[in-house]
């Protein structure tokens, strides 16, 4: 099928009166009042959510974003609008938008939600993965208007060809208005030579490399697209009989936990390299137009989604996170068993770092007992639920403070016991070292440390929050495990092996595709630009610009 057949014919559009500041005035994207570019950086690891054909879509989108709060607590945004079964020529329309810093519940009050009109919505939760200023103008979704109409976009991931594309646009006089790589999608779309919005969006996605799971809203359709590598998860859901005249509504989310909160039915994953177009033809037929981006580098889903980032009750990449994490724990028990204790002594108590290590700990203890290594599992900390994740706080100072505020050790669990503290991963070591200190202060006889993933040795350029090699604990100690154990304050330390991670993941999930392990191996599945921008790249597609 020719992708131009998928788009509706062009109509005349009235300029939207309530738009994002990143709004075009004429021709290519031209904007004002935005964050000034002070440094080059990569984008953020975040969550995206989209709603199509649902009354008061902003309310459904709100609950979807609440379900994705763990994927970003720095800020959130939402764009809403009406997509009607038949767009009449000359009909005036507008997209409403609201963004704010902090939690979704703080940003979207009932009063704000009631100002966000329409039966369709795109939402985004964010945290930044690199330094730099926190500017509201760089928050997503972006909403713009250009020659072919309105456009709203939310993006999860990082573009690995960010430097080439940005340098190319700057060389051609395009004004870059934010330090966010997601802005490049807008310029790629607006400068495409294709004749319809659907085709322009497809064209733009073929020119992007790296990690991108996107939700795009136009005047006529909602589009969800996942990069050919499939780095980040993206799932499709159905909202039965919640649309116009009792028709079905649809939603798309980074994880299935967001679908659950909205009482949506899981339909399927968006496949790696797939672009799905949802419109009222889809509502009538129950099918979707599905296009496929060219695959240059194969499929490499981020295995760290299973290790840490995805919510335990979610299903990502086709299987449940809890199931995979328990498999990691079982494999860790085989590779690094619990320490033996003397005759007559109490068995070791295995304590998970709350909350993401809980299921790996269950698997670890189950397998340890099966192998004849006596141990028990218990909860060793009270976790203050009103403090966010330390890993996603934007600076080290805030991370340290949050750990101290977040956890309090349970003395009756730790006192006079051999304690095995188990975490799903260790990056900088900030949380682990402080928690180990808390366990020791609670009277533990000795403390051991187990990690249900391999050492993080290299930066991620696809959206995770460890951008430099120098800040990684494993590299700071030159791979010396006893040195790390001494710094952490534990008697022994053991990591799950890289092979063990992959084998246990495949065994538990029955994965159809391969995984990206670059943060553990330094082998990247696509080319990356780790340092300064390169000169104009020869591989930048010639069709990136429209001659005007």
- Is 302 within any annotated ligand binding site? yes
CA atoms in the 13 A half-sphere facing the CB of 540:
18
Distance CA 391, CA 403 (A): 10
Take residue 317 and report the two structure tokens written for it.
């990449």
Distance CA 524, CA 520 (A): 10
Distance CA 212, CA 227 (A): 5
3 state DSSP class of 485:
helix
- Is 120 within any annotated ligand binding site? no
What are the φ/ψ torsions at residue 107 (nearest 5 degrees)?
-75, -40
Take residue 77 and report the two structure tokens written for it.
């945004």
Taking phi over 0 as left and psi of -120 to 50 as alpha, with beta for the rest, 185 belongs to alpha
- Helices 162-171 + 183-190 axis angle, to 10: 50
Residue whose entry in the numeric block shows the structure tokens 């720095």? 74
Take residue 73 and report the two structure tokens written for it.
């607590």
Length of the chain: 548
Kind plus residue range of the DSSP H or E element containing 198: helix 197-207
According to DSSP, residue 285 is labeled H
DSSP calls for 394-408:
SSHHHHHHHHHHHEE
- Is 375 within any annotated ligand binding site? no
- Tabulate helix, strand, coil % of the chain (nearest 5): 30, 20, 45
According to DSSP, residue 531 is labeled S
- 284, with CB counted inside 10 A (0-12, 13-18, 19+), is exposed
Residue whose entry in the numeric block shows the structure tokens 């503290």? 421
Distance CA 280, CA 222 (A): 10
Alpha-carbon distances, residue 198 vs 184, 226, 278, 351, 545 (angstroms): 17, 15, 11, 51, 17
- Is 356 within any annotated ligand binding site? yes
According to DSSP, residue 371 is labeled T
Alpha-carbon distances, residue 497 vs 185, 447, 522 (angstroms): 38, 21, 15
Torsion sign over Cα 482, 485, 489, 495 = negative
CA atoms in the 13 A half-sphere facing the CB of 41:
23
- Is 214 within any annotated ligand binding site? no
Give CA 333 to chain center in angstroms. 29
Question: Closest Cα partner for 153 from 243, 28, 20?
Answer: 20
Distance CA 6, CA 197 (A): 10
Alpha-carbon distances, residue 29 vs 39, 104, 146, 177, 187 (angstroms): 21, 29, 7, 10, 6
Distance CA 402, CA 442 (A): 20
Q: Which residues are catalytic?
A: 46
Bind-site residues for [4Fe-4S] cluster: 302, 460, 516, 519
Bind-site residues: 302, 356, 423-424, 460, 516, 519
Bind-site residues for Mg(2+): 356, 423-424
């Amino acid at each position: 099928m020719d992708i131009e057949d998928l788009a509706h014919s062009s109509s005349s559009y009235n300029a939207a009166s309530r738009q994002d500041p990143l709004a075009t005035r004429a021709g290519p994207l031209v904007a004002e009042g935005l964050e000034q570019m002070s440094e080059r950086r990569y984008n953020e690891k975040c969550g995206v959510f989209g709603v199509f054909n649902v009354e008061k879509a902003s309310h459904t989108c709100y609950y979807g974003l609440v379900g994705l709060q763990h994927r970003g607590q720095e800020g959130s945004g939402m764009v809403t609008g009406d997509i009607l079964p038949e767009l009449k020529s000359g009909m005036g329309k507008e997209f409403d938008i609201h963004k704010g810093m902090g939690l979704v519940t703080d940003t979207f009050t009932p009063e704000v939600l009631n100002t966000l009109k329409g039966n369709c919505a795109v939402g985004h939760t964010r945290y930044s993965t690199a330094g730099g200023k926190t500017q509201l103008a760089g928050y997503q979704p972006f909403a713009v208007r250009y020659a072919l109409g309105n456009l709203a976009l939310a993006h999860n991931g990082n573009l690995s060809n960010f430097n080439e594309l940005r340098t190319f646009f700057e060389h051609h006089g395009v004004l870059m208005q934010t330090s966010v790589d997601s802005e490049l999608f807008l310029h790629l779309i607006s400068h495409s030579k294709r004749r319809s919005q659907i085709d322009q969006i497809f064209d733009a996605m073929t020119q992007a490399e790296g990690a991108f799971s996107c939700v795009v809203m136009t005047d006529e359709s909602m589009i969800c697209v996942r990069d050919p590598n499939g780095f980040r998860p993206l799932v499709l859901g159905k909202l039965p009989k919640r649309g116009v005249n009792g028709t079905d509504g649809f939603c798309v989310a980074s994880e299935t936990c967001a679908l659950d909160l909205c009482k949506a039915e899981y339909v399927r994953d968006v496949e790696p390299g797939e672009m799905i177009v949802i419109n009222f033809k889809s509502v009538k037929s129950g099918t979707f137009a599905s296009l496929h981006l060219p695959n240059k580098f194969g499929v490499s889903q981020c295995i760290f989604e299973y290790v840490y980032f995805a919510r335990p009750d979610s299903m990502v990449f086709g299987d449940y996170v809890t199931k995979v994490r328990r498999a990691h724990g079982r494999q860790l028990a085989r590779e690094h068993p619990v320490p033996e204790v003397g005759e007559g002594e109490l068995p070791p108590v295995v304590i998970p770092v709350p909350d993401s290590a809980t299921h790996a700990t269950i698997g670890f203890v189950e397998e340890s007992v099966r192998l004849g290594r006596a141990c028990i599992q218990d909860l060793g900390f009270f976790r203050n639920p009103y403090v966010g994740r330390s890993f996603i706080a934007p600076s080290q100072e805030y991370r340290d403070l949050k750990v101290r505020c977040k956890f309090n050790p349970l003395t009756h669990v730790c006192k006079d016991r051999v304690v095995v503290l188990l975490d799903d991963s260790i990056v900088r070591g900030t949380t682990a070292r402080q928690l180990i200190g808390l366990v020791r202060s609670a009277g533990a006889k000795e403390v051991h440390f187990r990690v249900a993933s391999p050492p993080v040795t290299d930066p991620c350029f696809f959206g995770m929050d460890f951008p430099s090699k120098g800040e990684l604990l494993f590299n700071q100690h030159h791979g010396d495990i006893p040195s790390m154990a001494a710094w952490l304050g534990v008697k022994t330390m053991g990591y799950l092996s890289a092979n063990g991670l992959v084998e246990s993941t495949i065994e538990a999930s029955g994965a159809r595709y391969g995984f990206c392990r670059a943060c553990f191996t330094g082998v990247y599945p696509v080319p990356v630009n780790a340092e300064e921008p390169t000169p104009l790249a020869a591989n930048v597609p010639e069709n990136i610009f429209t001659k005007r």
